[in-house]
Amino acid sequence: MTEIRVIPRDRVDVLGEGLFWSVRDGALLWTDILGQRINRLVPAEERAEERVESWETGDATGWIIGREKGGFVAGIGTTVAAVTLDPFSVETLAQIAGEPAGNRVNDAAADEQGRVWLGTMPYSCDKPVGAFHRLENGMVTRAAPEACTIPNGPAIDPQGRFMLHTDSALGVIFRYALEQGELGAREPFITFPGDESWGSPDGMTFDAEGHLWVACWGDGAVRRFAPDGTLVRRIALPASQITNVTFGGDRLDRLYVTSAADGVDEAHGGALFELDPGCAGLAACLYRG
């Protein structure tokens, strides 16, 4: 059985998301979208010495990603902002144009060329008025023609051939061919059962073996899929609304998982979890801009 640790802290996340392991800082960053916060975990060999810090952003905060020139970029409201943590500051870099009132950012990921791929969605979670965008050289442009209701989990395979993206409302993980910063046609890659036995696909990441790890909202689990999309493993977690997953630690062999407290009464709803997955991940890419 996999040992699961609940990271001790003085608060839980209303809607935890946006996990990013900073190799440069030896720290885990993540966001609380509805709690309007950026969080940081600094692990330590002696767990009693690890620390968790949190900063208020003033608007829905979907993701945070390291910046090659230093600091971070984050999706806040319907903007992309430059963020520093020590001391804390936020500066708007770009507006995400064309977003209707009532939309916000959700999840994002960077690729090896330093682009950031990000989704937008309605607060109501019930209308296909969101979109999938690309941030490059300080500009945000629409990356795919399809509308989204709950866009989630962008993940790029280790060879950089495919972009995986899901609409949680549809229960489908889609795959796009990725070539020179452009997406090919969208095709279904993994379809979750319609009976909700797997919940809904949320945040995703690849491990170093090319397997895909998926946070399963509503099922209280993360699932691991082989490169051909075959399910090979399920790890249950003590919270139902699992939102995101990433690898971290000095050897990138710890799996960190976020969850949401919004709408549930659970002992560990909104907790941050750490577990040993028995494999390692890949260093996260940085925004080059």
Residue numbers belonging to the annotated binding site for substrate: 104, 106
Query: Active-site residue among 13, 107, 202, 219?
Result: 202
Q: How does 219-246 read in b/e, with b if 16+ C-beta sit within 10 Å?
A: bbbbbbbeeeeeeebebebebbbbbbbb
Of how many residues is the chain composed? 289
Question: In Å, what is the CA distance from 172 to each residue of 83, 175, 278?
Answer: 32, 10, 27
Q: Distance between CA 15 and CA 250 in Å, rounded?
A: 27
Instruction: Name the region of 57 (left: φ>0; alpha: ψ -120 to 50; beta: rest).
Output: alpha
Would you call 140 helix, strand, or coil by DSSP? strand
| Catalytic annotation present for 207 | no
56 touches 41 (CB < 8 A):
no
DSSP annotation of 160 reads S
Best CA proximity match to 113, nearest among 288, 274, 267: 288
Q: Distance between CA 78 and CA 134 in Å, rounded?
A: 13
Q: Which residue has the tokens 């925004």?
A: 287
Rg of the chain over Cα atoms, rounded to whole angstroms, equals 17
Burial of residue 24 (number of CB atoms within 10 Å: 0-12, 13-18, 19+):
exposed
Q: Distance between CA 103 and CA 222 in Å, rounded?
A: 27
Which residues are documented as binding site for a divalent metal cation?
17, 152, 202
Which residues are documented as binding site?
17, 104, 106, 152, 202
Active site (catalytic) residues: 202
